Structure 1
């Protein structure tokens, strides 16, 4: 009976499992807490690019900048 109590072979593995489980729980709690922040953010790359283009065109800092090409590319057959 004493040999079963003295056996420590799986102790390291179980400690790693508990550690990773705790990290996963903390990550899920952080996602739940900050969910409203992510839902309020507007991720629209087209609008962001248009803002950058309009700001660079209005600044006039670089007169040698090439013009923006707004034509659509030809379609492939």
Structure 2
């Protein structure tokens, strides 16, 4: 499966590779932001911890959905 993904990346044009890298970057941004909101106490959020965890989980789930859409995109 991993070999198939790398073969698919090599077949992409320069524009498609740039969009792939951009998609991976935003996946990582949303993932790290969700983890920061959940676990970093020095952030200046004065909201209930339950809502902080809920928002963090929501961002992590959204990053997972973005990642799955990025992996499953089949542009031939």
What TM-score, normalized by structure 1, do the two folds share?
A: 0.35
Instruction: For CA contacts below 8 A with separation 6 or more, give which structure has more relative contact order.
Output: 2
More helix by share: 2
